[in-house]
């Protein structure tokens, strides 16, 4: 099971209440938010207090509603929030960005905080999570974020995005299948991954070519901020990609309805 599935994808109450205010976060028997590291101010600048409120929400209702594992509370800053925020230079000024399988808002909400110019769409199929995300976005006053309940395929044919991102949701080939059709010409997919990123790009190269990807690469971010640094696999397209998947030399049409189930240990974006 990958890190996100193990630590973030915990089942929780079927009917969660809205996120509590930041003043309530850390009260009761929940672990509470960890101290703000000095590097947070360097990353978030004037937005650091907003990032602190987000961490407090993750530590409180993010845990109680099963979006974050309780053991993650002490490392919310370095492993999750800063780990996501440091990749913000990848995104063009004012770009529309889709965060697939957003879960607890990672990486979408940290990106929206550190880059108020970006327009984020948090794409998440489970109502329990979208209920929490909607309440968190309202609590934080993030006017540049919308929450979309549905799978990535539900946005095929909608206005396209300049960037698509995801964090530990699926391997590169599958992300390309569902994410590249969301991109406008010249757009890019950015997958936040661990050390498997270079191997996945090599192993899935044929699938990327079949999806009309123009080039792909791996870069690291966050030197001196997070350890280990955040690895990002980027896949670029020169022209808009038609939805579908190469299977045995033919193109499989876009799935209808709920689609096929995912393999164990992967969350369906």
Q: How confident is the model at residue 32 (pLDDT cuts 50, 70, 90)?
A: confident
Is residue 233 pLDDT above 50, yes or no? yes
How does pLDDT run across 114-149, given as a tens digit for each residue? 999 999 999 999 999 999 999 999 999 999 999 999
Contacts 24+ apart (CB under 8 A), 91-94: 91/115, 91/118, 91/162, 91/163, 91/190, 92/162, 92/163, 93/117, 94/118, 94/119
How does pLDDT run across 252-266, given as a tens digit for each residue? 444 433 333 333 334
State the chain's mean pLDDT as an integer. Answer: 84
**Separation CA 19–CA 61 (nearest Å):** 6
Residue with tokens 């650091």: 48
Q: How confident is the model at residue 269 (pLDDT cuts 50, 70, 90)?
A: low
Say if residues 80 and 101 touch (Cβ distance below 8 Å): no
- Those residues whose C-beta lies under 8 Å from the C-beta of residue 126, and which sit 6 or more positions away, are 149
pLDDT attached to residue 20: 38
Average pLDDT over residues 220-232: 96
pTM: 0.81
Is residue 109 pLDDT above 60, yes or no? yes
Backbone dihedral angles phi then psi of residue 179, each to the nearest 5 degrees: -95, -35
pLDDT attached to residue 1: 33
Q: How confident is the model at residue 168 (pLDDT cuts 50, 70, 90)?
A: confident
């Amino acid at each position: 099971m990958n890190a996100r599935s193990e630590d973030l994808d915990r089942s929780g109450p079927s009917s969660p209440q809205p996120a509590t205010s930041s003043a309530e976060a850390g009260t009761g028997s929940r672990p509470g938010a960890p101290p703000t590291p000095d590097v947070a101010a360097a990353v978030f600048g004037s937005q650091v207090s907003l990032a602190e409120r987000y961490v407090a929400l993750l530590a409180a209702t993010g845990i109680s509603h099963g979006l974050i594992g309780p053991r993650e509370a002490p490392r919310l800053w370095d492993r999750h929030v800063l780990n996501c925020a440091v990749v913000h230079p990848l995104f063009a000024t004012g770009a529309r960005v889709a965060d697939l399988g957003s879960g607890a808002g990672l990486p979408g909400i940290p990106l929206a905080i550190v880059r108020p110019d970006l327009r984020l769409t948090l794409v998440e199929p489970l109502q329990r999570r979208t209920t929490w995300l909607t309440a968190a976005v309202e609590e934080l006053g993030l006017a540049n974020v919308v929450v979309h309940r549905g799978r990535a395929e539900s946005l095929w044919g909608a206005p396209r995005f300049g960037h698509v991102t995801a964090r530990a949701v699926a391997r590169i080939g599958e992300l390309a299948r569902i994410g590249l059709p969301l991109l406008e010409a010249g757009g890019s997919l950015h997958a936040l991954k661990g050390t498997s990123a270079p191997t996945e790009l090599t192993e899935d190269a044929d699938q990327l070519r079949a999806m009309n990807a123009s080039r792909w690469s791996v870069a690291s971010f966050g030197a001196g901020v997070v350890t280990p640094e955040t690895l990002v696999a980027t896949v670029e397209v020169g022209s808009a990609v038609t939805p579908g998947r190469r299977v045995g030399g033919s193109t499989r049409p876009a799935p209808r309805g709920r689609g096929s189930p995912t393999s164990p240990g992967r969350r369906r974006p």
